[in-house]
Structure 1
């Protein structure tokens, strides 16, 4: 039943199966007990999540009312209050560390392609620039978190995936599909992605190189005891896969990442902190070109700084989890590379400050959470926003920031979780007020239910609402064929869903049906009937209704693992003739994922990943003709040999050398072969 570990100073029992009542065995032991469960992810071929354990100490001051002890085998972010994955009423897809290490990818962007409900639209590979959507939504409609801290850039969602962490530092990625307003407040209109790292991972050095002049080198050093520290750095570059008409590089890439994180942990409190830097520049080719403006040598450079301090109390009935953070994003966009005299560069800087207080307590009726967040978003720019009362100099140039915008988002939430033997109910609301919008304080409620009639079967249902403020780009961008509207309204979403999962040792089957009703949805549209006068305009659609279905089957046979998952989406909106949409009506109607992990010999494994997708939508080519997106299928493979402490691998992306475009007329590279190694120190 359990494994016992002996220590002269403290005796600790580790249980694999347990009861979670305050009057159960744990209350009788009179010493610290650590409980752990190994969970299986239903995404790709993951076999186990990273396990976090919270000590449960018998409470000698407990009243006669038996208090539920919420034992934490794996804490996920499906609710405001910390719940285990087995307790959570919200369906959370978890991609664990083992799956991340075995996937043939070079960035988190590439990794998310294998999540069936996630739409990954690349303009450039290896993390150069990627738009991430969930359930037919756009890149601005999801919230991205680093260890639970909101790192979204209010300027634009195009550069949201400029992460300071390397893949080797990530212990898991959590994907929440559907509105998550009462969990994360504004921005989480159609879902959330939380990237979780840990400072106690082993030290490592890694390097790889491949096609198109690609090379990457990096490493991590971890040290400490009660206070843990980890420092990492990474550099990558590529010549790119294409050239401009002039013969110069136009899809090249180079970038540097640096990340420090620390943790202090004792019986009373846990503190976490991090500082991260992501600096990169990339040839943007025809990324933002239009039939009217056919530039093929664009360039962009971003520098992002991330800082945060988080705390968590561990004793007493009332638990506090405050956090404070500051993120800064700098962006330089060159419409014509190295030619400011032809088109002046666009400079933007956003500073985001946030204070968040989470709290929860347990009582006879369950677990109640409450708290609030204050988030200030400040923009200074050369082309976005309103005229500034005082200009700010742009470092390294002879120009000033002359425009800008400042807005503050205030939110408060309340949530209650009822945990019964077979039923979990999580209900709550978030109240939101933004200083820039004319909207009054608005309340967005939600409820999630999970019912477990047998240990193998889980039924879930949910109804949630959320909102999103428009990005600064959507409100103010007015260059080269684009005309934004500063009076855009916030987007609002109501969603219902239901599903079932069946987990029986070697076989896992799940299915999910959902419906989204969106109001005031923001998009860029063009009226092609205007000919040469046609421009892209940001608008609020009256409503966009979406319905979708997802299913997945995972089979584990000895050391082999197989997974097949499928997603279908259909959106409804009245569309006028000659109107072309850039985002809202371009979505993946069909997405099929198939993965296999096959052992070939001792310590030698082959990973195969196939993705087929069919996108709804159109784009206008440089000849002025409207083109439909064509479906395509891509095969990726990775062969890994891992004689500890070494790991050596060779992989190929787009093995069949398929020529395709997933965003307008931005063609993606063909076959890309990479070889690399990692050594654990």
Structure 2
């Protein structure tokens, strides 16, 4: 039955993409991207597999948060613990969730405490201009954590160019089952040299029934930004945002029956950018400060874990068009990470890096882009990180390849989780002696543009890890530190796994057409196969949790005053069981969301009805973290 559903989804997308006749395109199939090379170029000359989605898709698809939008993009696996922004782990190409770097307008937002917070992107959807997903190794440019890939959110104000005029206002309200009350509001305004944007999104629900608790959530993000051109060459941009998540976290991190946890995470983000661009050169300085307060309470009688982290960073980039076919980009980065915690202790870590990228066009069709980075970490020392990207572009084809080294240092949770407590009965234990993990990754792929409004991308890849960091079930006798542990406890120790090889293939389809009679179709589809092999006899936790087969898709069809949207995913993975809480990870699952929208005033004001998990599937992405079953809702949308 699962295979039939999967084939039906694939067939529907392919049918839409091959049988309809178009007049004009809605999206660019070879968009401009800045993520692959730090300066604007067409994706077809980067040598990389890149997905670009416009920010306005957020209001057109059945999604309620940014991580839900990412969940249905081709090739992304988003392992959700809770809905609507409660908590999600982002996985690319079968690695662990800490191996994806998330960037907001050029600088990292990955939290030094834990990669579990990487999906807490402190931005209102109204501010998003586009999202760029760069798949594969990127440490030569971005440093630590850019192992499986990079997700960059680019906002309207920071992307604004001088001399333009534009304004937009959006509002949406949603109500539904289980006490659901969601809302978002925001806008963008530019008049000449100044652009301003801002907005808020808030998702709230009493939640569906879980094991003795309800899966409640109160998640709110608010942001505001401004970009001002001082003259035709200099501009300064600033953003401030606040993000708060308050949610039920039962069995998010454990499979204990006594777990009735809740968690509150507050984020304060500030970003300042000064940029110069004139003729053949450009220069920018980007500064960021992030403060996070995390309070996690395992149950009503336990003492909450209180973790406070700070991330301070600076990034300077210089680009020079050295010749008509040669662009040189260089830069330096400094990052300071801090933590104070009653669970993990107090810690500080500094790291820095410098990089050089050369984009060389050879003849009419070929582009070669070597990059090197020198990375320093005060704990693990110096590392040299090289990478090479090549592309060969023909009228209807792009052939591409990439090879490079990656690196990642352990976060504070991997090093010190449960280290500062007086007694730990069972659970995940940090390891201060973890070495940095390294890998060598290579890929080859092709993109086909031969049919109008349709892009097909196929890629094969392999990642060869050494010292990969993950949690492994470890008996008490083998624990390196036993001071606060119980001889009868069950523990998962963060360890460096000797060797892990992940081999895979991915297929991405992007399609968009606009027809006569006010009809429009937009669709994306992705299929990924990954096979991971380890020399570790005991399977590690997060590495064994990724999907072996993953298919995800979006479809939106508009005709006259109606719009119908579907998104869904199929996942096959290793099954797991916990008898203590009567939970399991099924071999596979298929989940589908649907939305029907009717415009009541031109294309400006509409009402909609939506069903999340339309087939009422009971499933979990991670053992014990029960995802909601069918959830019905409806509301209104205004776009002016």
TM-score w.r.t. structure 1 length? Answer: 0.81
1:377 to 2:337 alignment? yes
Q: Give me the whole-angstrom Cα distance separating, in 2, the residues matched to 1:324 and 1:560.
A: 40
Give the structure with the higher percent helix: 2
Q: Give me the whole-angstrom Cα distance separating, in 2, the residues matched to 1:77 and 1:554.
A: 19
Partner of 1:389: none
1:203 to 2:169 alignment? yes
Asked whether the 8 Å contact 1:250–1:298 carries over to 2, the reply is no
Query: CA 1:561 to 1:205, structure 2 compared with 1: closer, same or farther past 3 Å?
Result: closer
Partner of 2:388: 447
* Deviation by residue 1:483-526 (Cα, 9 ceiling, x = unmatched): 21111011112110011111120432221100101111111111
**Greater alpha carbon shift after TM alignment, 610-619 vs 259-268:** 610-619
Query: CA 1:86 to 1:680, structure 2 compared with 1: closer, same or farther past 3 Å?
Result: same
1:302 to 2:265 alignment? yes
Q: Give me the whole-angstrom Cα distance separating, in 1, the residues matched to 2:269 and 2:206.
A: 28
* Deviation by residue 1:265-286 (Cα, 9 ceiling, x = unmatched): 3411232211010012111122
Q: Of 347, 351, 361, which aligns to 1:405? A: 347
Partner of 1:493: 439
* Deviation by residue 1:31-75 (Cα, 9 ceiling, x = unmatched): xxxxxxxxxx99xxx965599xxxxxxxxxxxxxxxxxxxx9734
Partner of 2:493: 537
Partner of 2:406: 466
* Deviation by residue 1:296-327 (Cα, 9 ceiling, x = unmatched): 42011011011111122111543211111111
* Deviation by residue 1:149-208 (Cα, 9 ceiling, x = unmatched): 211101001122122223333221111111111221112121111111113651222211
Shift of 1:359: 0.4
Asked whether the 8 Å contact 1:621–1:665 carries over to 2, the reply is no
Q: How does 1:316-395 map to 2 (within 5 A)?
A: 316-336=279-299, 339=300, 342-364=301-323, 366-384=326-344
SS at match of 2:58: helix
Q: Give me the whole-angstrom Cα distance separating, in 2, the residues matched to 1:603 and 1:609.
A: 21
Shift of 1:355: 1.0
Which structure's relative contact order is higher, taking Cα pairs within 8 Å and 6+ residues apart? 2
SS at match of 1:228: strand
1:163 to 2:121 alignment? yes
Shift of 1:379: 0.9
Gaps of 5+ in 1: 1-40, 52-71, 385-402
Query: CA 1:50 to 1:218, structure 2 compared with 1: closer, same or farther past 3 Å?
Result: farther
1:280 to 2:253 alignment? no
Q: How does 1:130-145 map to 2 (within 5 A)?
A: 130-145=88-103
Q: Of 629, 634, 639, which aligns to 1:675? A: 634
Q: Of 496, 505, 509, which aligns to 2:456? A: 509
Q: Of 63, 88, 93, which aligns to 2:51? A: 93
Q: Give me the whole-angstrom Cα distance separating, in 2, the residues matched to 1:231 and 1:658.
A: 36
Q: Give me the whole-angstrom Cα distance separating, in 2, the residues matched to 1:635 and 1:623.
A: 26
Q: Give me the whole-angstrom Cα distance separating, in 1, the residues matched to 2:90 and 2:400.
A: 26
Q: How many residues align?
A: 584
SS at match of 2:116: coil
Partner of 2:365: 422
Q: How does 1:597-676 map to 2 (within 5 A)?
A: 597-599=556-558, 601-616=559-574, 618-622=576-580, 629-642=586-599, 643-676=602-635
Shift of 1:606: 1.0
Q: Give me the whole-angstrom Cα distance separating, in 1, the residues matched to 2:626 and 2:253.
A: 13
Query: CA 1:541 to 1:619, structure 2 compared with 1: closer, same or farther past 3 Å?
Result: farther
Q: Of 257, 262, 266, which aligns to 2:226? A: 262
Partner of 2:527: 566
Partner of 1:57: none
Q: Give me the whole-angstrom Cα distance separating, in 2, the residues matched to 1:317 and 1:361.
A: 6
TM-score w.r.t. structure 2 length? Answer: 0.86
Q: How does 1:112-127 map to 2 (within 5 A)?
A: 112-127=70-85
Detail structure 1 runs of 4+ shifted over 4 Å in the superposition: 46-51, 527-532, 554-557
Q: Give me the whole-angstrom Cα distance separating, in 1, the residues matched to 2:470 and 2:577.
A: 14
- Name the larger-Rg structure: 1
Q: Give me the whole-angstrom Cα distance separating, in 2, the residues matched to 1:104 and 1:653.
A: 8
Q: Of 158, 177, 184, which aligns to 1:218? A: 184
Q: Of 62, 67, 75, which aligns to 1:109? A: 67
Query: CA 1:334 to 1:560, structure 2 compared with 1: closer, same or farther past 3 Å?
Result: same
Gaps of 5+ in 2: 1-16, 19-23, 158-165, 419-423, 478-486
Q: Give me the whole-angstrom Cα distance separating, in 1, the residues matched to 2:189 and 2:454.
A: 40
* Deviation by residue 1:75-121 (Cα, 9 ceiling, x = unmatched): 43111343233433322111123433322100111111212321111
Query: CA 1:156 to 1:646, structure 2 compared with 1: closer, same or farther past 3 Å?
Result: same
**Greater alpha carbon shift after TM alignment, 519-528 vs 650-659:** 519-528
* Deviation by residue 1:450-481 (Cα, 9 ceiling, x = unmatched): 1112x211110000211111010000112442
**Greater alpha carbon shift after TM alignment, 253-262 vs 96-105:** 96-105
Query: CA 1:151 to 1:563, structure 2 compared with 1: closer, same or farther past 3 Å?
Result: closer
Asked whether the 8 Å contact 2:127–2:197 carries over to 1, the reply is no
Asked whether the 8 Å contact 1:318–1:361 carries over to 2, the reply is yes
Asked whether the 8 Å contact 1:79–1:90 carries over to 2, the reply is no
Q: Of 235, 240, 261, which aligns to 2:202? A: 235
Q: Give me the whole-angstrom Cα distance separating, in 2, the residues matched to 1:287 and 1:537.
A: 17
Query: CA 1:594 to 1:237, structure 2 compared with 1: closer, same or farther past 3 Å?
Result: closer
Q: Give me the whole-angstrom Cα distance separating, in 1, the residues matched to 2:628 and 2:241.
A: 30
Asked whether the 8 Å contact 1:49–1:172 carries over to 2, the reply is no
Asked whether the 8 Å contact 2:122–2:222 carries over to 1, the reply is yes
Query: CA 1:217 to 1:414, structure 2 compared with 1: closer, same or farther past 3 Å?
Result: same
Q: How does 1:429-444 map to 2 (within 5 A)?
A: 429-437=372-380, 439=381, 441-444=382-385
Shift of 1:125: 0.4
Q: Give me the whole-angstrom Cα distance separating, in 2, the residues matched to 1:330 and 1:344.
A: 16
SS at match of 1:89: coil
